[in-house]
Structures are given as structure tokens and as C-alpha cells.
Amino acid sequence: MIEGIEINIYFEDSNNISFDLTSTQTETVFKALGLQVDTNAKEIQAFSDNSLRKHILPKVNFKPVKKNDDKS
């Protein structure tokens, strides 16, 4: 069972921020991203970026920043 996760945010200027999520926050992130963990195979599956843009982002009113190399 997953107890929590640590988030690392990497900025362009090499400043980084790390913080822990509670079990409730972890569950929310996993559900939003469609994360499924197979501990036996040590694999993680997640929704594709396209699925997230189509189904999740509109519901949370989040506008992602598009990069120049983002072809979707």
C-alpha cells in the first residue's frame, strides 16, 4: 500500500522544490492522473497526455503552458 509520495518540481534556473503529499493528496493525484501501480512488475500506468487534456484539464479549469516543442 502506498502511504504517500514526494513531489519534486524542477525549475529552469536549477532551483528545485520538494514536498511530501499526505495519503489523501496522494490518492487524489493518482486518481486524477489515472495512475495504477503494479508492485509485482514494478510498473506504473497513467492516462496519456492527450486523455488528460481532453477529459481532466477542462474539469479542473487548468490551462497548461504550451511549450514550443509540444506537438499535441
Q: Does residue 57 contact residue 33 with C-beta atoms inside 8 Å?
A: no
Q: Which residue has the higher pLDDT, 69 or 13?
A: 13
Query: pLDDT of 9-42, one tens digit each?
Result: 998 888 899 999 998 899 888 998 999 988 888 8
Q: Is the predicted pLDDT of residue 69 greater than 60, yes or no?
A: no
* Secondary structure of residue 6 in the 3-state scheme: strand
DSSP code, position 43: E
The domain segmentation of the chain, as residue ranges, is 5-60
- Taking CA atoms, 20 is separated from 51, 54, 58, 61, in Å, by 26, 28, 26, 24
Q: What is the mean pLDDT of the chain?
A: 84
